[in-house]
Amino acid sequence: MTDLMIFGISVAFSFVAWGAVCSRYIWPFVRSRSLPDAATPLLYLNVFRFVGASFLVPGVAGSLPRAFAAPGAFGDLFAVVLAWVALTLLRRPAGYAALWLFNLWGAGDLLFAFYQGLFDADFHPSALGATFYIPTVYVPLLLCVHFMLFALLLRARSMSTNAAAGS
């Protein structure tokens, strides 16, 4: 089995596992709450994205190409800042916009990294070294979280549109 096959299988199993956890435990917990109450625990899962900066540490990340490591690391660090901003503003008028901004950036950053990993000829999963767990365990959880946040944001938008139409 090639390292790319092992990587792909690991990512797929992680999506299945996190999807099951999210659909069974997290989504039922957050879906019945207000947007700020539902988004708060989901945002806290993202404040640990600073671990993506380990892509820049020689020896920890193995031999990752800089073209992959830098956008991943700095994209994650910016996502951490946006998650903290969204947490700070969540119960204020700007909170809805901050949450959208975070969620669009955060999901886009993760999807871009997957795209790079799939289509960059210089990327090999074995180059991840000790950071192998980030895309195989943590990123699938974060993408599930982004999916739930999008669902919550769209529901909140729908509810506010319906409330405005009813008045």
So where are the chain's domains?
3-155
- Residue 162, judged by CB atoms within 10 A of its CB (0-12, 13-18, 19+), counts as exposed
* Predicted local distance difference test score (pLDDT) of residue 111: 96
Dist CA 34 CA 101 (whole Å): 19
The model's pTM is 0.91
Predicted pLDDT at 162: 60
Residue-wise pLDDT tens digits, 21-51: 999 999 999 999 999 999 999 999 999 999 9
| Helices assigned H by DSSP within 3-138 | 3-21, 27-31, 35-46, 66-89, 95-119, 133
Q: How confident is the model at residue 63, as a pLDDT?
A: 86
* Structural tokens at position 135: 């895309």
Q: What is the pLDDT of residue 4?
A: 85
- The per-residue pLDDT for 58 is 85
Q: How many CB atoms lie within 10 A of CB 24?
A: 10
- Per the prediction, the chain carries an average pLDDT of 92
Quote the Cα angle for 132-101-33, to 5°: 90
DSSP per-residue letters across 68-100: HHHHHHHHHHHHHHHHHHHHHHTTSTTHHHHHH
Q: Which regions in the chain score pLDDT beneath 50?
A: none
DSSP symbol at 24: I
Q: Are 136 and 7 in contact (CB under 8 A)?
A: yes
> Which pLDDT does position 123 carry in this prediction?
82
Which tokens hold the place of 17? 């596992």
| Inter-CA distances, 67 with 76, 80, 115, 135, Å | 15, 21, 13, 16
pLDDT given at position 165: 59
